[in-house]
Amino acid sequence: MLSRNIRGRSQYGGALSRRFKVGWAIALTGFLGSGKTTLIRHVL
């Protein structure tokens, strides 16, 4: 039961990280689209 729970949690974490990466990509493209490249340069 413990191993099954850990496996389910790892799958859930992978889905979360994937969604997070997609969100970051959308946010970055949104910033570029609105012309806030200077802000991105300051952050990076």
pLDDT tens-digit profile of 6-20? 566 677 677 778 888
pLDDT in the model for residue 21: 86
Half-sphere exposure of 17 (CA within 13 A, CB side): 6
pLDDT in the model for residue 32: 74
**Cβ-Cβ contacts under 8 Å for 32 (sequence gap 6 or more):** 40
pLDDT tens-digit profile of 19-44? 888 888 888 888 777 766 666 666 66
pLDDT in the model for residue 44: 62
Tokens in use for 39? 């802000």
Q: Taken in order 33, 39, 41, 43, is the CA torsion positive or negative?
A: negative
Q: Which residue has the tokens 């191993």?
A: 3
Residue type, 20: F
Ranges of each domain in the chain: 2-43
